């Protein structure tokens, strides 16, 4: 369940794809000092990450690249309809997992992750009014059903 929550929080950024002039589009670097990560296995936390959000027609593509503390690579790529809806991943999700996106306003997008029909996490992604900071605040439950929260703070490059 911990893996599901961490995966869903990373994947939650897929809904940010809304158009070339949209405040979410561009290249973002994760600020580790300002971020609060969900629990992970030793060495599996991010050491550095870059997020690239691109628009192609009616879909957006998110590519997340980075390195974990243990030196292993992070590479996640997925797409979502610009208008919101189901998220499509290049790699298969765990069985029974689905992620959907919903635009709340010009600077806010919400992602909901379900596992076997039950909500396991919600992530609210918000771009600051100056367009320089993207905050992805997540809430969910771990494998024992205990609440887990995270905050990813990205800075535009």
Q: Distance between CA atoms of 45 and 101, rounded to whole angstroms?
A: 25
Instruction: Return the half-sphere exposure (C-beta side, CA atoms, 13 A cut-off) of residue 129.
Output: 0
DSSP bridge pairs for 81: 59
2-156 topology per CATH: Lipocalin (2.40.128)
**Domain limits, the chain:** 2-156
What average pLDDT score do residues 21-32 get?
A: 92
pLDDT number for residue 27: 97
Q: Distance between CA atoms of 112 and 121, rounded to whole angstroms?
A: 6
* pLDDT higher than threshold 90 for residue 5: no
- Average per-residue pLDDT in the chain? 85
User: Strands of 59-68's sheet, edge to edge?
Assistant: 85-86, 97-105, 108-115, 118-127, 133-141, 147-156, 26-30, 46-56, 59-68, 73-81, 88-89
Phi then psi dihedrals of residue 8, to 5 deg: -65, -35
pLDDT number for residue 28: 98
């Amino acid at each position: 369940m911990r893996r599901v929550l961490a995966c869903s929080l990373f994947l939650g950024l897929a809904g940010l794809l809304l158009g070339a002039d949209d405040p979410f589009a561009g290249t973002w670097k994760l600020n580790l000092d300002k971020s609060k990560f969900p629990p992970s296995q030793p060495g599996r936390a991010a050491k550095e990450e870059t997020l690239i959000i691109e628009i192609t027609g009616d879909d957006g593509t998110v590519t997340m690249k980075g390195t974990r503390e243990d030196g292993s690579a992070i590479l996640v790529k997925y797409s979502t309809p610009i208008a919101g809806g189901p998220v499509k991943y290049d790699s298969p999700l765990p069985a029974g997992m689905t992620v959907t996106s919903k635009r709340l306003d010009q600077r806010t997008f919400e992602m909901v992750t379900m596992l076997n029909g039950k909500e396991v996490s919600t992530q609210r992604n918000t771009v600051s009014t100056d367009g320089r900071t993207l905050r992805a605040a997540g809430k969910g439950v771990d494998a024992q059903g205990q609440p887990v929260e995270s905050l990813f703070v990205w800075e535009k490059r």
